[in-house]
Amino acid sequence: DKVLSVLNTTKTERCFFLSVPAAYQPTGKRRQRLSAGTATYADGKTVELVAFVLVVGPGQVMDVCRLPGLRRVSKAEIHSDIVDLLPPSERIPSHSTSSSEAKYFHFPLSKPDEKLDSAANAYFFCSQASGGLLTHFAHGSTYHALDFDAPVGTLVRAIEK
């Protein structure tokens, strides 16, 4: 079997975000099949993927999974994004706003086939908020990001300060 491994040749911790096609049949340590999710591209094409978020220490190698369904390594289509992890004290941007000065915003999201003020657009599930431990923890530039479980094509309106 082919083994997918990542290596961190740097002197700092790194976060590896990997997307592996489910067609490669990724398996875990005990050769159990790993659960896949569905991704939809901008052109509407959907694909089944297994996603990994890995924190790898300096100078470390991590075996991630086996890929028994991958026929030719030279044809592998594994997508990755790798970021250096900042020290914990630098990951969270500092703010001087006191709780009495805190501001709250309504996030104006609208399904493509609905009016912005319709009841159908009242709520979208926030799947990851500021400082989220899935991916937002990795870097100060993503720490305050928000992820919403909204259909592809959902309109996002700007908010003012």
| pLDDT grade for 89, boundaries at 50, 70 and 90 | low
* Region for residue 124 given its phi and psi (left: phi exceeds 0; alpha: psi -120 to 50; beta: otherwise): beta
Q: For the segment 28-72, what is each residue's pLDDT rounded down to a tens digit?
A: 999 999 999 998 888 989 999 999 989 999 999 999 999 999 999
What does pTM read for this prediction? Answer: 0.65
Average pLDDT over the chain, rounded to whole? Answer: 79
Collapse the DSSP code of 91 into the 3-class scheme (helix H, G, I; strand E, B; otherwise coil) and give the result: helix
What is the Cα–Cα distance from 109 to 115, expressed in whole angstroms? 10
| Rounded-to-10 torsion of CA 68, 73, 77, 78 | 70
pLDDT digits 0-9 by tens, 91-115: 555 554 444 554 445 566 666 566 6
Has residue 117 got a pLDDT over 60? no
Query: In the prediction, which pLDDT does 104 show?
Result: 47
